[in-house]
Chains A and B, each alone.
Chain A
């Protein structure tokens, strides 16, 4: 009876202890992260890191961080199994390439935008200049009208004056 309370039976050993063919104690470090229903997960990690290294790494971490750490090591181990040369660094490399490519495309589009804005500004400046020229011309022509009207009036007055004078002298 004592054995059952202190150790887990064969059927409730974690995947790690099952694989290592050892007793799975209640305080087994690996048990929470390598359940018996997923033997592949531990097999992956054991193949790349080894059970003792995984245990050492997890033991050094606070309990609340161990689940994430186990998941990350599982991911890296399975990446390494799929790609024995580059492992998860292949993913890093591809992402870095993607970043460079996207930055290049952004620069291209921003250059195009800058060109459009510059063209628009030039167009506006041109429009303003045309408007100013028009106003100038209008101003000149109205000035001419005023001048010609003024000189006509002057002639009229002069004629009238002469008439009057003429009338006076006669």
Chain B
């Protein structure tokens, strides 16, 4: 390998780091923790197989998502990433309810301002049915019904800066 140091994976696996080492571009020697986590959860040979099946320009993103999933699994050994998904789904549901309530209020105001309507007040029963019809919670695809866990969520995923 000449004068350059072996990549983090070859260091951990105690082997010679070849010039065409598949891990070297994505697991630099200055960040051993990154490969250690991935190796613990997925195993070096599985990661190697997964990367080999991908075109080169997609491997960096794949490594980053594997690191993210492995980190999630270490933080929450039972639910891993699924805990995060469940937590986010709950958040989405709550926000959509909030939105539905606000939209129903606007609808009420608009109807009150309609000159053709005979009454100034809307019946509370009608208000409830308006609220229910404005709610679109049922349209949310429910991926899973697992216990939600916010312990996994750290920084929001940003495609541009996710994979650092």
Contact = CB atoms under 8 A, between A and B. Distances in A.
Contacts of A116: 106, 109
B80 to A, nearest CB: 5
Interface stretch (B1-9, B10-18, B83-91, B125-133): B83-91
Interface in A29-50: 47-50
Contacts of A106: 95, 98-99, 102
Contacts of B109: 113, 116
Contacts of A73: 80
B46 A50 contact: yes
Contact of B92 (A47, A60, A93, A99): A99
A4 interface: no
A48 B80 CA distance: 15
A61 B46 CA distance: 23
Contact of A87 (B66, B105, B143, B146): B66
Interface string B24-64: 00000000000000001111011000100110001001100
Contact of A109 (B78, B88, B91, B106): B106
Nearest to A100: B156
B157 A72 contact: no
Contact of A76 (B46, B69, B91, B98): B69
A165 B92 CA distance: 98
What's the interface size class on A, roughly? 35 or more
B159 interface: yes
B159 to A, nearest CB: 7
Nearest to A52: B43
B65 interface: yes
Nearest to A96: B156
Interface string B66-98: 101100010001111111110011011001101
Contacts of A113: 102, 105-106, 109
A65 interface: yes
A95 B148 CA distance: 14
B95 A76 contact: no
Interface of A: 47-50, 52-53, 57, 60-61, 65, 68-69, 71-73, 75-76, 80, 84-89, 91-93, 95-96, 98-99, 102-103, 105-106, 109-110, 112-113, 116
Interface of B: 40-43, 45-46, 50, 53-54, 58, 61-62, 65-66, 68-69, 73, 77-85, 88-89, 91-92, 95-96, 98-99, 102-103, 105-106, 109, 143-144, 146-147, 156-157, 159, 162
Give 4 nearest A-B pairs by CB, closest first: A95-B88, A109-B102, A72-B82, A102-B95
Given A88-B69, A88-B85, A96-B88, 17 more contacts: A49-B46, A53-B41, A57-B41, A57-B73, A85-B61, A89-B69, A89-B162, A91-B143, A92-B85, A96-B156, A99-B92, A102-B92, A105-B99, A106-B99, A109-B103, A110-B102, A116-B106
